[in-house]
Amino acid sequence: MFTLINLRKHGRTSISPRKRFRAISRRWQWYWMLIIGTCGGISGLSTVDVDRYFLPELPFALTNFFWFLMLPATMAAVWESVRHWGSWQERQMLDIPENRRALRDDDRRTKIELTIPLVFYFFFWMNFLLVIPRSWGSFEKQRDLNQSNLIAAPAATDIRFKLAAFLLFGGWLTTIYSLQHSIYHYISHEKGVRNRFIALIRNIPAKFVLTLFLSLVMIGYIAAISFYFPISPLNINAKLEFIYPLGWGPIALILLCYEIAGYMNLNEDRELLRQRRLHDLAADEEIGYTRKPRWWSRLHGDNKIASMQERITANVSEVGGGVPTTRELERGMKMEDIPSSSRDKRDTSHPIRIIEAPRTAVDITNSRHLAYEGRFRDNPTRHRDSEASSVTQVDSEQGASTISTFSISVPPQQIRSMLDV
């Protein structure tokens, strides 16, 4: 449950992710911890049935199978936490514009960072292939002492378990090198082996000190049980004072350490936004600029954040559209008061146009009114013909000075009965 809470907390994104810094990078640690918790739960439930069975059978094999699955998964969780911590240091460094030129994408540092994960997961999968795919039924044959010494003990201390322990130690060394690489390139920049070692001890986070030490204890116990069968969990009569403190204890403490660190640390995107605000404040102080508070824009109309409808209305009123406002009417009155030589010439040269527009509108209104009344007369055809002739006569009197000619011709309507009326 705590792992899911931390996964939700640190897996959220508040900034659009760059190609190199995906959100999946910070989630892998918590994914591996979920796998560890699942395997541990199944192994613990199977342990209950081990005591219920009189002879070692399937529950004994299931308990050890899922316990051995937890070992490389725990080392992978430690590796992913260290690798992502280095990626987080690089992201913080690249977020400052002055440092972007110092970190190129085609240098030796980038090639090493692409190669290190391949090396670790080579050790991881080799350990998995050497331990997991095997006949686990041979460990059930411990019904007496002779059977245990002849079958179970040689199977638990074969060459595959020995190589798997050293491969897991190779993954631990790869994790240490990745941590030193990140500290050298993103924090200390020390030269020389001695100075780099001192910088590693000085700048390593506290959680990595604990988890790397606990994982080393876990690997040491794995190597020990591959040579000495009496303390191995594969032995049905093994001593519990070795199994739980050295086998289960480091794994549980590693999970607890990461859960506490995940609860205390902030989300990386929010932390990056906080650092950007601090960087902007420092840059403003250098140039002597005092940034106004947030309430400043709310009290000033020019800086007020308006809605889309308010913006459209403001744009329309600015260009003179929409319903005439008092400001627009005053502007029109002022423009009419200004004498213009071109406007006077145009008005004197064509005086008829000013008078013709009202006359045309009046003629159209009268013609429509007459056409409407003609429907209720006994002889509408003759009246409409006279209307058309009168309109044509008015148009002919206007002559060439008229802007547009209107002709109204309505088809005759014959009234057969009073129902048509």
pLDDT in tens, 82-125: 999 998 888 888 877 777 777 777 788 888 989 999 999 999 99
Report the pLDDT value the prediction gives residue 355, as an integer from 0 to 100.
43
- The residue extents of the domains of the chain are 2-286, 292-329, 353-410
How many of the other CB atoms lie within 10 Å of CB of 77? 25
- Higher pLDDT among residues 16 and 303, named by residue: 16
High-pLDDT (> 90) share of the chain, %? 31
For 79, counting Cβ atoms within 10 Å of its Cβ (0-12 exposed, 13-18 middle, 19+ buried), the class is buried
pLDDT at 79 exceeding the cut of 90: yes
Report the pLDDT value the prediction gives residue 207, as an integer from 0 to 100.
93
* DSSP letters spanning 162-206: HHHHHHHHHHHHHHHHHHHHHHIIIII---SHHHHHHHHHHHS-H
From CA 261, how far away is CA 206, in angstroms rounded?
Answer: 10
pLDDT at 385 exceeding the cut of 60: no
From CA 156, how far away is CA 172, in angstroms rounded?
Answer: 23
Residue pair 76/86 in contact (Cβ under 8 Å)? The answer is no
Q: Is 375 helix (H, G, I), strand (E, B) or coil?
A: coil
Question: Residues 361-379: pLDDT tens digits?
Answer: 445 444 544 444 444 454 4
pLDDT at 229 exceeding the cut of 60: yes
Whole-model pTM: value is 0.67
Report the pLDDT value the prediction gives residue 361, as an integer from 0 to 100.
44
